[in-house]
């Protein structure tokens, strides 16, 4: 009887351990905790995080191990103590994998859209800036919120091209990463945007279709910039200027405005009715 009691005690108190190690990358760990309907008990007995017990006899089939108290790239060692007749399951062990960084591994552009695929996003508040090369400077054309999944994420936005060469890049920004994609290009065969008047402009420049534009002096000082089809320049002084559209520069001249002199007022003749 004593032997049988000892064997029974060992059997009921038998415990096994699952050890999960890695580094903190901004995500919590999720664990499946099986339930035994015969014994009416859950499988996991306790969970330790870096030597500290964080859960004891949890009564739930879905557990979250909260790692938010750690710093990014801190070492993580999780010990799951469980009964021998069941096996808990760590649902997302990849979130602790060291050396798996963020990557933009495909970025492309076609006639109407820009698309890119990423892997290793770590933070929900991260975002992308889609940039276009304009007059030798990178300009942000759209911001896109990151999805935050570690596995592959796909993105796509609409785009309007200039006539000719168009160059783009993707910029990923988070608290722990600042990554640029390789530059990628698209050549558009559409007709260039035209403008009128061509040389002398008094008050208005009309474009053949809406686009972003810059008006600057010959020395490079930017005076006007915006997006539209009609550009009002009546407030510019006379002189030579440069209109920048579709990554090309066009010169125009605003002539001196002729002053309008008022006509002399005609004197009113006094009515003379003669002597009274």
Separation of alpha carbons 178 and 172, rounded Å: 6
Both 232 and 157 in one domain: the answer is no
Band of pLDDT at residue 3, cut at 50, 70 and 90? very low
The residue segments making up the domain with residue 136 are 103-188
**For the chain, how many structural domains are there in total?**
3
Overall pTM > 0.75: no
- CA nearest neighbour of 184 among 167, 205, 199, 207: 167
Band of pLDDT at residue 119, cut at 50, 70 and 90? confident
Question: Are residues 24 and 76 in contact, defined by beta-carbon separation less than 8 angstroms?
Answer: yes
Structure tokens at 48: 């330790």
- In this prediction, what percent of the chain has a pLDDT beyond 70? 87
Pick the more confident residue, 265 or 60: 60
Question: Are residues 21 and 74 in contact, defined by beta-carbon separation less than 8 angstroms?
Answer: no
Examine residue 42 and state whether it is found in any structural domain, yes or no: yes
Band of pLDDT at residue 148, cut at 50, 70 and 90? confident
pLDDT of residue 109: 96
Residue 268 has pLDDT above 70, yes or no: no
Tokens 């066009």, residue? 250
CATH number at residue 178: 2.70.50.50
Separation of alpha carbons 253 and 68, rounded Å: 62
Residue length, the chain? 276
Separation of alpha carbons 197 and 84, rounded Å: 86
Question: Are residues 126 and 151 in contact, defined by beta-carbon separation less than 8 angstroms?
Answer: no
Both 91 and 118 in one domain: the answer is no
pLDDT of residue 2: 36
pLDDT in tens, 21-51: 988 877 789 999 999 988 889 999 999 999 9
């Amino acid at each position: 009887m004593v032997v049988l009691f000892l064997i029974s005690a060992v059997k009921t108190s038998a415990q096994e351990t699952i050890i999960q190690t890695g580094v903190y990358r901004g995500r919590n760990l999720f664990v499946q905790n099986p339930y035994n309907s015969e014994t009416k008990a859950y499988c996991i007995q306790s969970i330790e995080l870096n030597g500290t017990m964080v859960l004891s006899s949890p009564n739930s089939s879905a557990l979250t191990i909260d790692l938010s108290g750690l710093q990014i790239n801190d070492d993580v060692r999780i010990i799951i103590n469980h009964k021998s007749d069941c096996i808990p399951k760590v649902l997302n062990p990849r979130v602790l994998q060291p050396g798996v960084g963020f990557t933009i591994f495909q970025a492309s552009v076609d006639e109407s859209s820009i698309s890119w695929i990423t892997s290793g996003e770590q933070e929900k508040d991260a975002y992308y800036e889609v940039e276009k090369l304009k007059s030798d400077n990178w300009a942000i054309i759209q911001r896109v919120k990151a999805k935050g999944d570690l596995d592959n994420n796909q993105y796509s936005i609409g785009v309007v091209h200039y006539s000719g060469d168009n160059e783009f890049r993707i910029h990923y920004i988070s608290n722990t990463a600042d990554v640029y994609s390789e530059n990628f290009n698209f050549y558009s065969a559409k007709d260039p945007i035209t403008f009128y008047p061509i040389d002398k402009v008094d008050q208005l420049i009309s474009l053949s279709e809406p686009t972003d534009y810059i008006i600057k002096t010959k020395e490079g000082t930017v005076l006007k910039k915006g997006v539209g089809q009609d550009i009002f320049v009546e407030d510019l002084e006379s002189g030579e200027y440069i209109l920048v559209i579709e990554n090309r520069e066009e010169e125009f001249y605003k002539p001196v405005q002729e002053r309008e002199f008022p006509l002399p007022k005609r004197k009113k003749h006094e009515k003379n009715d003669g002597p009274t």
